[in-house]
C-alpha cells in the first residue's frame, strides 16, 4: 500500500568552538586549514529538533525550516542526502507491515521538518546544530550502521562546524590529511560529565542575520589574510595541545586564557581580511572589557568569552557562583529595556540566579 509513513525525530544541540575553525583548504568537501575544539551546549537550550519522514506517497524530497519550506537543491544538502542514502540498510516494521530494502531507499523520498529554538544564521551556530540533526535523524531513519565519527564526516559536508555537534562534551574536529576527506572528522575529548562545574551563558547582542556568511568570509580570509596562514601553521597546532591539556585537567585559568585569545585571533583574522569583516559590535567589545577587567581584578580568570561569526557573546563561567555574579553584572551594565542592544540574555540555566 502507499499509505504508510515512517517517522524519526531527533534533537541536537549546537556547539561553540573554543579553538576556532576559520578557513577551508577544500571548499566542496569542507576540509579545514586547522583542527578545532568545541564544547557542545546542553540540549535543553540552543538546539535543533528535526523530524524526518519517509512514505511511498512522497514524490520528492522536501524540507521545512522553522515552518517555511526551503530548497533542498543546494550542494550541501545534496551531499549529505547522497552520503546517507548510499549507506542505508534494510528497515522492517512488522507491526505496521513495512519493509524497506536497501535498494528501495534510492527511490523513496523524504520530508524533513526542522526547528531551531534560537535565531537562525545570527552567528549562533545554527547550521552546526541543523546539519548535525539532519544527518543524525536521516541516518536513524535509513538504519545507517556507522559510528558517530563516520556520521560526523558526513555532517561536515553540510557545515564544517556541524561535525562537532554529533558528540556531547568537549569535541575535537581533526582536520585530516586525506584528499577525499575521509579522515576529517570529529572525536570526543571528554564527555558532558567531565567538567560540569562550567556554566555557559549566551548573551544575545543581536538576533539579526549576519552580513557576511561564514562561507564567503572564510574564502576571503583564505585568499587575503597573511595572519590566517600564520595562525593555521604556527598558532593553532600548539593551542590545540594546550587546550586538550586544560580540558583534561579542568584547568580553568589555562582554558579561559586560550579560549579568549583564540576568539580574539579569529576576529583579528577577520580584520586582516580584505575587505575587512566586522562580526563584533560595540556591545561585544564592551562585554570583552567587562570580562577582562573582572578577570584581572580577581588575579585568576573567572569567565571566558568567545564570539563566532556575529556579535553575540558566549560566556563560560568557572562555576555556578561566578555565573550568577556574571548575570548580575550583565544586568547592571545592560539593564533590560534600556537603549542598549543586549536584548535577551541567556539561553542557559536561569536557576543560577536563585
Ligand atoms: O560551520 P560554519 O561554516 O558555520 O563555520 C563556523 C565558523 C565559526 O563558528 C566562526 C567557528 C567554529 O569553529 O565554529
Residue 40: name the closest of 181, 153, 194 by CA. 194
Ligand 1 site, residue 259, Cβ cutoff 6 A = no
Q: How far is the CA of 232 from the centre of ligand 1 (A)?
A: 15
Q: How far apart are CA 304 and CA 290, in angstroms?
A: 11
In this prediction, residue 334 carries a pLDDT of: 83
Atom nearest to 162 CA in ligand 1: 1
pLDDT per residue of the chain (354 residues) written in tens, 0 to 9: 568 999 999 999 999 999 999 999 999 999 999 999 999 998 877 889 999 999 999 999 999 999 999 999 999 999 999 999 999 999 999 988 899 999 999 999 999 999 988 766 555 666 899 999 999 999 999 999 999 999 999 999 999 999 999 999 999 999 999 999 999 999 999 999 999 999 999 888 877 767 789 999 999 999 999 999 999 999 999 999 999 999 999 999 999 999 999 999 999 999 999 999 999 999 999 999 999 999 999 999 999 999 999 898 999 999 999 999 999 998 888 876 655 545 444 444 444 444
Ligand 1 site, residue 161, Cβ cutoff 6 A = yes
C-alpha grid cell for residue 334? Answer: 545592560
In this prediction, residue 124 carries a pLDDT of: 65
Q: How far is CA 354 from CA 41, 348, 349, in A?
A: 21, 13, 10
In this prediction, residue 189 carries a pLDDT of: 98
Task: List, in sequence order, the alpha helices (H) in 53-147.
Answer: 75-85, 104-107, 126-141
In this prediction, residue 319 carries a pLDDT of: 96
C-alpha grid cell for residue 72? Answer: 533542498
Sequence-distant (6+) residues with CB within 8 A of 282 are none
Q: What's the 3-state SS for 171-183?
A: EEEECCCCCCCCC
In this prediction, residue 352 carries a pLDDT of: 45
CATH topology of domain 6-190: Ribosomal Protein S5; domain 2 (3.30.230)
- The preferred substitution site among 28, 173, 309, 311 for testing ligand 1, maximizing ligand atoms within 8 Å of CB, is 309
In this prediction, residue 118 carries a pLDDT of: 73
Ligand 1 site, residue 228, Cβ cutoff 6 A = no
Task: List, in sequence order, the alpha helices (H) in 142-188.
Answer: 148-155
In this prediction, residue 80 carries a pLDDT of: 97
Sequence-distant (6+) residues with CB within 8 A of 328 are 353
In this prediction, residue 354 carries a pLDDT of: 41
Atom nearest to 309 CA in ligand 1: 10
CATH topology of domain 199-353: Alpha-Beta Plaits (3.30.70)
Strands (DSSP E) contained in 166-297 are 170-174, 185-190, 199-203
Sequence-distant (6+) residues with CB within 8 A of 87 are 139, 142, 144, 145, 146
Residue whose C-alpha cell reads 551563558 in the numeric block: 201
Instruction: Kindly indicate whether the ipTM for this predicted assembly is greater than 0.90, answering yes or no.
Output: yes
Ligand 1 site, residue 307, Cβ cutoff 6 A = no
- The preferred substitution site among 14, 16, 76, 125 for testing ligand 1, maximizing ligand atoms within 8 Å of CB, is 125
Atom nearest to 123 CA in ligand 1: 9
What are 353's strand-pairing partners? none
Domain locations along the chain: 6-190, 199-353
Global confidence as pTM: 0.94
In this prediction, residue 122 carries a pLDDT of: 55
Q: How far apart are CA 66 and CA 102, in angstroms?
A: 31
Ligand 1 site, residue 214, Cβ cutoff 6 A = yes
Category of 121 on φ-ψ map: left (φ > 0), alpha (ψ -120 to 50) or beta: left
In this prediction, residue 1 carries a pLDDT of: 59
Ligand 1 site, residue 160, Cβ cutoff 6 A = yes
Q: Residues 273-277: contacts with CB within 8 Å, 24+ apart?
A: 273/217, 273/220, 273/221, 273/224, 273/225, 273/228, 274/220, 274/224, 274/225, 275/220, 277/212, 277/217, 277/220, 277/221
In this prediction, residue 212 carries a pLDDT of: 87
Q: How far is the CA of 41 from the centre of ligand 1 (A)?
A: 15
CATH topology identical between 6-190 and 199-353: no
Ligand 1 site, residue 130, Cβ cutoff 6 A = no
Q: How far apart are CA 163 and CA 142, in angstroms?
A: 19
Amino acid at each position: 500500500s502507499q499509505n504508510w509513513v515512517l517517522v524519526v525525530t531527533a534533537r541536537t544541540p549546537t556547539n561553540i568552538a573554543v579553538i576556532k575553525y576559520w578557513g577551508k583548504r577544500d571548499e566542496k568537501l569542507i576540509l579545514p586549514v586547522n583542527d578545532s575544539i568545541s564544547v557542545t551546549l546542553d540540549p535543553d537550550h540552543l538546539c535543533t529538533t528535526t523530524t524526518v519522514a519517509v512514505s511511498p506517497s512522497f514524490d520528492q524530497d522536501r524540507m521545512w525550516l522553522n515552518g517555511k519550506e526551503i530548497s533542498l537543491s543546494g550542494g550541501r544538502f545534496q551531499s549529505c542526502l547522497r552520503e546517507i542514502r548510499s549507506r542505508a540498510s534494510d528497515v522492517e516494521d512488522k507491526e505496521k507491515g513495512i519493509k524497506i530494502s536497501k535498494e528501495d531507499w534510492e527511490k523513496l523520498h523524504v520530508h524533513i521538518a526542522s526547528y531551531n529554538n534560537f535565531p537562525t544564521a545570527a552567528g549562533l551556530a545554527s547550521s552546526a546544530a541543523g546539519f548535525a540533526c539532519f544527518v543524525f535523524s536521516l541516518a536513524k531513519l535509513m538504519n545507517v550502521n556507522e559510528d558517530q565519527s563516520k556520521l560526523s564526516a558526513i555532517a561536515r559536508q553540510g557545515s564544517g562546524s556541524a561535525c562537532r555537534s554529533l558528540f556531547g562534551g568537549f569535541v575535537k574536529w581533526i582536520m585530516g590529511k586525506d584528499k577525499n576527506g575521509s579522515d576529517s572528522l570529529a572525536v570526543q575529548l571528554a564527555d558532558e560529565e567531565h567538567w560540569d562545574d562550567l556554566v555557559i551563558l549566551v548573551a544575545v547582542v543581536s538576533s539579526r542575520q549576519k552580513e557576511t556568511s561564514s562561507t564567503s568570509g572564510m574564502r576571503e580570509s583564505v585568499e587575503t589574510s597573511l595572519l590566517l596562514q600564520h595562525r593555521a601553521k604556527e598558532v593553532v597546532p600548539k593551542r590545540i595541545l594546550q587546550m586538550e591539556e586544560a580540558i583534561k585537567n579542568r584547568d580553568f585559568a589555562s582554558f579561559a586564557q586560550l579560549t579568549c585569545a583564540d576568539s580574539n585571533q579569529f576576529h583579528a583574522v577577520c580584520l586582516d581580511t580584505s575587505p575587512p569583516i566586522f562580526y563584533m559590535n560595540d556591545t561585544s567589545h564592551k562585554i570583552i572589557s567587562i570580562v577582562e577587567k573582572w578577570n584581572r581584578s580577581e588575579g585568576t580568570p573567572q569567565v571566558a568569552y568567545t564570539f563566532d561569526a556575529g556579535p553575540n557573546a558566549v560566556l563560560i563561567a568557572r562555576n555556578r557562583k561566578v555565573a550568577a555574579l556574571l548575570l548580575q553584572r550583565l544586568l547592571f551594565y545592560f539593564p533590560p529595556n534600556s537603549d542598549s542592544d543586549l536584548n535577551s540574555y541567556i539561553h542557559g540555566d536561569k536557576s543560577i540566579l536563585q
